[in-house]
Structure 1
Amino acid sequence: MQPDLSQIIVQSFTEIAKEKGMDRETLLEILEDVFRSMIRKKYESDEAFSVILNPDRGEIQILHVREVVPAEELTDSVAEISLEDAKEQDPDLELYDEYAQDVSIESFGRRAVTMAKQQLSQRIREIEKENIFDEYSDRIGEIILGDVYQVRHNFDILVNHNGVELYLPKSEQIDKDRYRKGDSIRAVVTEVKRFNGTPSVVISRTSPMFLERLFENEIPEVFDGVIEIMRIAREPGNRSKVAVLSHDERIDPVGACVGMKGVRIHSVVRELQNENIDVINYTSDKIEFIKRALQPANVLNVELNEDGTFAKVLVPADEVSKAIGKNGVNIRLATRLTECEIDVYREVEEETDDIDIMEFVEDFGSEMIEELRQIGLDTARAVMDLDADEIVARTESRITKELAENILSVIAFEFEEEDEAAKTEDSTEESVAPASSKEATVTDEIVEAENTAETDEA
Structure 2
Amino acid sequence: MSKEILMVAEAVSNEKGVDQEVIFQAIEQALSTATKKRYDEGANIRVVIDRETGDYDSFRWWDVVADDVMAELGTQFTTEEAHEKDPTLAVGDTFEETVENIAFGRIAAQTAKQVIVQKVREAERELIISRFVNRIGEMLNGTVKKVTRDHIIVDFGDNAEGLLPREELVGREIFRINDRTRVILTSIRDDTRGPQLLVSRAASEMLVQLFHIEVPEISEGIIEIKGAARDPGQRAKIAVKSKDARIDPVGACVGMRGARVQAVSNDLDDERIDIILWDDNPAQLVINAMAPAEVESIVVDEDSHSMDVAVSEENLAQAIGKGGQNVRLASELTGWTINVMTMDQAQEKQQEESLNVVENLMTALDIDEDVAIVLVEEGFTSLEEVAYVPLEEMIDIEGFDEGIATELRARAKDALLTMALASEEQLANAQPAEDLLTMDGMNDALANTLAGKGIITMEDLAEQAVDDLMEVDGMDEETAAALIMTARAPWFVDQGE
Q: Tell me which interval the TM-score lies in, with the shorter structure as reference length.
A: 0.5 to 0.7
Aligned partner of 2:111 among 102, 111, 115: 115
Tell me the percent identity.
Answer: 32
SS at match of 1:314: strand
- For 1:205 and 1:298, the matched residues in 2 are separated by 31
Q: Deviations over 1:378-432 (max 9, x none)?
A: xxxxxxxxxxxxxxxxxxxxxxxxxxxxxxxxxxxxxxxxxxxxxxxxxxxxxxx
SS at match of 1:189: strand
User: Is this contact kept in 2: 1:62–1:102, CA < 8 A?
Assistant: no
The answer as to 2:340 corresponding to 1:336 is no
- What pairs with 1:111-190 in structure 2 (closer than 5 Å)? 111=108, 114-154=110-150, 156-162=151-157, 163-190=159-186
The answer as to 2:57 corresponding to 1:52 is no
Q: Residue 12 of structure 2 corresponds to which residue in structure 1?
A: 16
Structure 1 residues 297 and 349, CA gap change in structure 2 (3 angstroms): same
- What pairs with 1:276-315 in structure 2 (closer than 5 Å)? 276-307=272-303, 309-315=305-311
User: Is this contact kept in 2: 1:188–1:203, CA < 8 A?
Assistant: yes
Q: Report the structure number with the largest CA radius of gyration.
A: 1
- Distance apart, 1:104 and its partner CA: 5.4
Aligned partner of 2:103 among 87, 102, 105: 105
Structure 1 residues 284 and 307, CA gap change in structure 2 (3 angstroms): farther
- For 2:33 and 2:51, the matched residues in 1 are separated by 15
User: Is this contact kept in 1: 2:22–2:119, CA < 8 A?
Assistant: no
- Distance apart, 1:235 and its partner CA: 0.4
Q: Deviations over 1:51-103 (max 9, x none)?
A: 2234xxxx63224699xxxxxxx9659xxxxxxxxxxxxxxxxxxxxx99984
Unaligned runs of 5+ in 1: 67-73, 78-98, 359-458
SS at match of 1:141: coil
- For 1:65 and 1:323, the matched residues in 2 are separated by 79
SS at match of 2:54: strand
- For 1:166 and 1:349, the matched residues in 2 are separated by 50
- For 1:240 and 1:128, the matched residues in 2 are separated by 38
- For 2:179 and 2:324, the matched residues in 1 are separated by 34
Give the letter for the 1:317 counterpart.
Answer: E
User: Is this contact kept in 1: 2:234–2:271, CA < 8 A?
Assistant: yes
Structure 1 residues 287 and 322, CA gap change in structure 2 (3 angstroms): same
SS at match of 1:60: coil
- Distance apart, 1:333 and its partner CA: 0.6
Name the TM-score, length of structure 2 as normaliser. Answer: 0.57
SS at match of 1:53: coil
- Distance apart, 1:17 and its partner CA: 2.5
- Distance apart, 1:335 and its partner CA: 1.2
Unaligned runs of 5+ in 2: 61-82, 87-96, 353-497
- Distance apart, 1:216 and its partner CA: 1.1
CA RMSD of aligned residues (A): 3.4
How many residues align structurally?
Answer: 314
- For 1:219 and 1:104, the matched residues in 2 are separated by 65
Q: Residue 206 of structure 2 corresponds to which residue in structure 1?
A: 210
- Distance apart, 1:177 and its partner CA: 0.7
- Distance apart, 1:192 and its partner CA: 0.6
- For 2:325 and 2:152, the matched residues in 1 are separated by 28
- What pairs with 1:369-380 in structure 2 (closer than 5 Å)? none
The answer as to 2:191 corresponding to 1:195 is yes
- Distance apart, 1:33 and its partner CA: 4.7
Give the letter for the 1:345 counterpart.
Answer: M
Structure 1 residues 194 and 106, CA gap change in structure 2 (3 angstroms): closer
User: Which piece of structure 1 moves more, 156-165 or 10-19?
Assistant: 10-19
User: Which piece of structure 1 moves more, 140-149 or 36-45?
Assistant: 36-45
Structure 1 residues 327 and 103, CA gap change in structure 2 (3 angstroms): closer
User: Is this contact kept in 2: 1:148–1:160, CA < 8 A?
Assistant: yes
User: Is this contact kept in 2: 1:62–1:104, CA < 8 A?
Assistant: no
- Distance apart, 1:18 and its partner CA: 2.0
Give the letter for the 1:180 counterpart.
Answer: R
- Distance apart, 1:310 and its partner CA: 1.5
Q: Deviations over 1:4-47 (max 9, x none)?
A: xx62x553453332233212344344444544555566584567
SS at match of 1:283: coil
- Distance apart, 1:332 and its partner CA: 1.1
- For 1:315 and 1:213, the matched residues in 2 are separated by 34
